[in-house]
Structure 1
């Protein structure tokens, strides 16, 4: 045994103190003796803390593995198999069996009933402390190599010898953050942002920031990309699930466009032109004398309604009975094919999600072990896996962390 205090010997070393790292360490400790988490920053579980506005969207109430995997622009096929080991229902049962009460919202997002991410953090910390997992903050791994079936991790003032290593360093905004893995001979997919809002510099719609339309359909011009759901007007442009879906599914396409493109917004969800014409004709008969500006018959805010009338040059004093020909067509265009130019993006800073990371062909998803380097495992966003908004990215972390820990902990 090495008696140098600067040398630590472990069964399993986990690099990264986020959601996937904690879940991996907890489940590795079920079947092995010594496990430690090494986190380069001063804070553990920092992304869990701030996610969902500090509430933590733990998972999604999609309990069909086939459907669940469909919410991942990258990793769908691999996760479909992985979910048979640990899925959304497993997550709910795991936390609730440890006293964390959860609540499912109408959009299927699952949050702690306390609406506080700290209860998730406390649960994970309690599990680690109870099992004897060592937690090390401000311990950055500078290099990793393997000699005689043992991994040697070089930290600032310490060497760590480990039989197994689980890498859970999260998504990296730049390729430089993945270089050390590339140097191990692993294939890396260059990272690009995956969840971001659309910037619309100078567009007057930004003055309506805070306005939300609950059901919209948004399409990116020249592509097959479509987003559905709530749309939020922001100080920069547009956000909300409909936009975030587009940013996830179109992550690489939009990066190639250098984040300059156009979108079409259907403010009435999936309503078609023929159906809208019929509805407008009915409304003309029901309220012929009402002015357009005073009679908004749709489920969009009055501020957005007024904005669209002005944008498409439909005078506020026009009465519904007078709405014919070009004016009628203008209103249809405003409601179903409203066009906006996008120039740039805004990411969620500490909450950023990336497409990219360790290429999925490198990993055996039955165990999360590297196919090239025995004893090296991966979990979480360091892999080229990402989901749309709604609890899916945390679910991928729980699932891959569970599998990696379970198998790394075995002799």
Structure 2
């Protein structure tokens, strides 16, 4: 985005150095190969609330280039984005390859040069201005008047930024599933539910999220779990991914509503078995049967014969099930990290370093990360566009 923007503004020589054989690999694998390009969140202030790190500082950049601007930018270059019911926006034909082709075509049309297998390993600022770059795949040192680092979560970018005088906030995992100690629950792997409330307690800190949850063979995943992990990323890391999670499966019915429903079922469904007559329609039958197992009550018992103690246990499971976290789920290839270059050392109006003039930084290299749903890509588009504009204005 930065290279294309700078070139489209009239710069005659813009060069991208890519350490891998193929650029944009993270775009290719994102969203299961669909690429969640951005999110339909039109208010810049509201958009910024979806970033656990950087929410307040990002209001400025988003006021100049937010999701609406990104949608227009891609549309003008031949890529139509389609909004899904939850606000996520994907390419019209659901192929991440379409996003890659759009960016590559725009770069070629603007005259951007791309050099692959060129891994920059060292950058030195020059006394007379500019930078000298050396690294694997570079036959001789390169000189650049302006330089932008957009290395994502790769440690090479953080090392270069530190060498140029920046403070780097240590990166920790973000956006991951939770591994739980709950065999009857994980036996329900594959079940997804909406409006599940999660309440995570880590020492004196508490984190809450409500939304769609997916039960996996390890524990919990899904959008609400991933958002929870993003906001609690540093606290979870500090606790070695151990803690107590309370889950409310009642879909907003609440403790009083669930208690009334159980008593109502005891009367109205008195002759039916617990397994056959689940008290809430939104509960998948397999999950309800797992709850019965956790409460220690037989599914073939009639509602009229449900012991009061078992009813209270079911009430607790449905409204405030306590689960022990035993770790985080495995990182996928498209993981996000919390951490990077301190935002206080970057002018977010231009993305230029405050410590090293002529150096620009954007994307996951910065201490910015968003929740799942296209927000991390949006931060990259916004930062890249701002940097490209500023680089072109400076050199021209």
TM-score range, shorter chain: over 0.9
User: Which of 235, 242, 245 is residue 253 of structure 1 equivalent to?
Assistant: 235
Aligned partners of 1:166 and 1:376 also within 8 Å = yes
1:229-269 residue CA offsets vs partner (Å, 9 max, x unmatched): 11111122211111111110001000000011121111123
For 1:271 and 1:136, how far apart are their aligned partners in 2? 57
For 2:39 and 2:282, how far apart are their aligned partners in 1? 26
1:200-219 mapped onto 2 (5 Å cutoff): 200=180, 203-219=183-199
Q: CA deviation at 1:324?
A: 5.6
Aligned partners of 1:228 and 1:241 also within 8 Å = no
Which shows bigger deviation, 191-200 or 218-227?
218-227
1:197 aligns with 2:177: yes
- 2:69 aligned residue: 90
For 1:160 and 1:225, how far apart are their aligned partners in 2? 47
Which shows bigger deviation, 279-288 or 52-61?
279-288
Q: Partner of 1:351: helix, strand, or coil?
A: coil
1:279-328 residue CA offsets vs partner (Å, 9 max, x unmatched): 33333343222211011223121111111110111221222233463222
Residue segments in structure 2 that go unaligned for 5+ positions in a row: none
* Length, aligned pairs only: 387
- 2:321 aligned residue: 338
1:205-244 mapped onto 2 (5 Å cutoff): 205-222=185-202, 223-244=205-226
1:28 aligns with 2:11: no
- 1:16 aligned residue: none
For 2:41 and 2:330, how far apart are their aligned partners in 1? 26
Q: CA deviation at 1:204?
A: 3.8
- 2:339 aligned residue: 356
1:67-122 residue CA offsets vs partner (Å, 9 max, x unmatched): 11000000101111111110011111112222222221111111112011111111
Instruction: Give the 3 Å change call, closer, same or farther, for CA 215–120 of structure 1 in structure 2.
Output: same
Q: CA deviation at 1:183?
A: 1.6
Aligned partners of 1:26 and 1:127 also within 8 Å = yes
1:180 aligns with 2:163: no
For 2:208 and 2:252, how far apart are their aligned partners in 1? 11
Q: CA deviation at 1:329?
A: 1.1
- 1:117 aligned residue: 96
For 2:270 and 2:157, how far apart are their aligned partners in 1? 63
User: Which of 249, 256, 272 is residue 274 of structure 1 equivalent to?
Assistant: 256
- 1:13 aligned residue: none
Q: Partner of 1:355: helix, strand, or coil?
A: strand
For 2:142 and 2:229, how far apart are their aligned partners in 1? 40
1:306-345 mapped onto 2 (5 Å cutoff): 306-323=289-306, 325-345=308-328
Aligned partners of 1:199 and 1:343 also within 8 Å = yes
1:385 aligns with 2:368: yes
Q: Partner of 1:124: helix, strand, or coil?
A: helix
1:64 aligns with 2:43: yes
1:146 aligns with 2:128: no
Q: CA deviation at 1:201?
A: 5.8
For 1:279 and 1:64, how far apart are their aligned partners in 2? 40
Aligned partners of 1:228 and 1:245 also within 8 Å = no
1:305 aligns with 2:288: yes
Residue segments in structure 1 that go unaligned for 5+ positions in a row: 1-22
Q: Partner of 2:356: helix, strand, or coil?
A: coil
1:354-408 residue CA offsets vs partner (Å, 9 max, x unmatched): 0000000000111000011111001100000000001100110111111111111
Which shows bigger deviation, 231-240 or 70-79?
231-240
